[in-house]
Chain A
């Protein structure tokens, strides 16, 4: 919301398929994050990037991949190795020295 655009809003994945979730920001924030949200659970960190061309694994990185070629963009690929991909995926940013997370509106990924 307010400068972070996630697309698509809904996404369906077939067995064995890789899918990519888009996250674009115009807040000029350095750090970007991907979280996974499952019903009845807290947010879990998948990957994060503090600067362009650099990113680190979070707590549940297996089966996911990311890239950070531009400051504005941090796409997440859900690979076929992720056996339980159905979840709500949230992208977030923080400015330099700022602890406040700004979140996008999320992408709901489901398996066909």
Chain B
């Protein structure tokens, strides 16, 4: 079955710098890759997603890139701000999973003032 690995587990960056979180997946048939942000004491919220027929997608300071050949996708946050501090989860959806997601273990992003 599908397996999703996420790195790093913790990332600390200076405010204003960029942050990159990477995920790899094992099932080449996976076709949907969302990213969720979870703030302390809350449920995750979708921040951006990408489908397998697209290589890159951008939404203001957030972008996601997908490399289908290498089976990895990355979240890029530019000009980081204190409110970006949170845990970020990637996920992948195999085509034979009845639309269920397989999740990465999460990355704790710390923005240093």
Residues in chain B within 8 A of chain A (CB atoms): 4, 6, 9, 32, 34, 36, 41-46, 49, 89, 91, 93, 98-106
Contacts and interface: CB of A to CB of B under 8 A. Distances in A.
Given A40-B105, A41-B105, A43-B103, A103 B4 contact: no
Given A42-B102, A42-B105, A100-B46, 5 more contacts: A1-B43, A42-B104, A45-B100, A100-B49, A103-B43
B53 to A, nearest CB: 15
B100 A40 contact: no
Interface of A: 1, 4, 40-45, 48, 56, 58, 90, 92, 99-101, 103-106
A1 B45 CA distance: 9
B9 A40 contact: yes
Contacts of B45: 1, 103
28 contacts: A1-B42, A4-B43, A40-B9, A40-B105, A40-B106, A42-B4, A42-B6, A42-B91, A42-B102, A42-B106, A43-B89, A44-B103, A45-B101, A58-B100, A90-B44, A92-B43, A99-B34, A99-B93, A99-B99, A100-B49, A101-B36, A101-B46, A103-B44, A103-B45, A105-B41, A105-B43, A106-B41, A106-B43
